[in-house]
Amino acid sequence: MIPLLGDILNWLAAGLLFPLMLLPLAGLVRGRLPSALVFAALLAGVAGASVLFAHLAVDLAPPRVSAGFLLTAGMGASALFLASLSAGARMVVSGLAPHVETLVRGAGRISQIIVLAMAAIQFAAVILRYVFGLNFIAMQESVTYLHGAVFLLAGGYALLTDDHVRVDIFYREASPRRKALIDLAGTYLLLLPFCLVALWAAAPYVANSWAVREGSVEQSGIRGVYLLKTLIPLYLTLLLLAGFSAAARAAETLRPSKG
């Protein structure tokens, strides 16, 4: 059951997340049919580049292509293509962007709550240890779990709100269109390939942890390391969704006016 669930998540990532990321680029083209054709061409290009990379990458196992994978990817890509053909890629992006942004912001708010919980647990652990002489391994490990969850859940939120570390020597004084061009290039030349490779590499790592229900090496520790590792693909998914929102804003700025 667990391997099947992992496969389904991988299929959804390939069939929905990555095609979704290409819609803002297709939205730069006017007209429903041209934007749909550009979307199909971009999708074919990314798929071809992924297959080529899979054959050239010697340290990564090739992704397992199954009937479920092909079906899910085909259905997801077809649905987005038909939506672009009927309403235009720009309208599809405009309709999806607010919902995507709400989801990423929700994860950011959860991370803020986790920070408060982490501080409270750490304070309690210090009091118990140095005042009452009590020490609980699970309590100490929970701080590590929460610390990791904060960064992994807040990564997409930081990108969405532009609170991440940015080398802005040229970006800070740039015009809005130049900033949009930089954001678009960064999303598709850096963020998208990174998330693709990281999800690919993380899939067996997380799957193996789930297979053995990996837990703490301490006898009284938390038996949930596999849950902590599951936050890695979740982090990458939120990062992709935040990249989609950033690309949507950039594409809207770069889109030529009707005049």
Q: What is the pLDDT of residues 200-222, one digit of tens each?
A: 888 888 888 888 888 888 888 89
| Tokens representing residue 116 in the block | 């408060």
Percent of the chain with pLDDT over 70: 90
Domain count within the chain: 1
Q: What is the pLDDT of residues 18-63, one digit of tens each?
A: 888 999 999 988 888 999 999 999 989 988 888 788 788 777 766 6
Residue 121: band (very low, low, confident or very high) from pLDDT cuts 50, 70, 90: very high
| Buried residues in 157-180 as b, exposed as e (16+ CB within 10 A) | bbbbeeeeeeeeeeeeeeeeeebb
CA 78 vs CA 35, 109, 259: distances in Å: 14, 33, 32
Q: Is residue 73 part of a domain?
A: yes
- 130: which residues sit within 8 A by CB, 6+ positions away? none
User: 169 φ, ψ to 5°?
Assistant: -60, -45
Q: Report the amino acid identity of residue 50.
A: S
Q: Report the amino acid identity of residue 91.
A: M
Q: Is the pLDDT of residue 171 over 60?
A: yes
- 74: which residues sit within 8 A by CB, 6+ positions away? 15
With CA atoms as reference, report the closest residue to 203 among 173, 230, 183, 166: 230
Q: Is residue 67 part of a domain?
A: yes
What distance in Å separates the CA atoms of residue 103 and residue 101, rounded to the nearest whole number? 5
Q: Is the pLDDT of residue 3 over 70?
A: no
CA 140 vs CA 46, 121, 235: distances in Å: 44, 8, 23
Q: Is residue 246 part of a domain?
A: yes
Residue 114: band (very low, low, confident or very high) from pLDDT cuts 50, 70, 90: very high
Number of helices and strands (H, E) in the chain?
Answer: 9, 0
DSSP for 92-127?
HHHHHHHHHHHHHHHHHHHHHHHHHHHHHHHHHHHH
User: 119 φ, ψ to 5°?
Assistant: -65, -40
With CA atoms as reference, report the closest residue to 243 among 15, 18, 11: 18
User: What is the CA angle 198-200-203, rounded to 5?
Assistant: 100
Q: What is the pLDDT of residues 242-253, one digit of tens each?
A: 999 999 999 989
Q: Which domain holds residue 73?
A: 2-254
Q: Is residue 196 part of a domain?
A: yes
What distance in Å separates the CA atoms of residue 85 and residue 83, rounded to the nearest whole number? 5
| Tokens representing residue 252 in the block | 């809207």
Residue 157: band (very low, low, confident or very high) from pLDDT cuts 50, 70, 90: very high
Q: Is residue 259 part of a domain?
A: no
What distance in Å separates the CA atoms of residue 236 and residue 191, rounded to the nearest whole number? 10
What distance in Å separates the CA atoms of residue 216 and residue 222, rounded to the nearest whole number? 6
Question: For 9, how many CA atoms within 13 A lie in the half-sphere containing its CB?
Answer: 19
Query: What mean pLDDT value characterizes the chain?
Result: 85
Q: Is the pLDDT of residue 13 over 80?
A: no
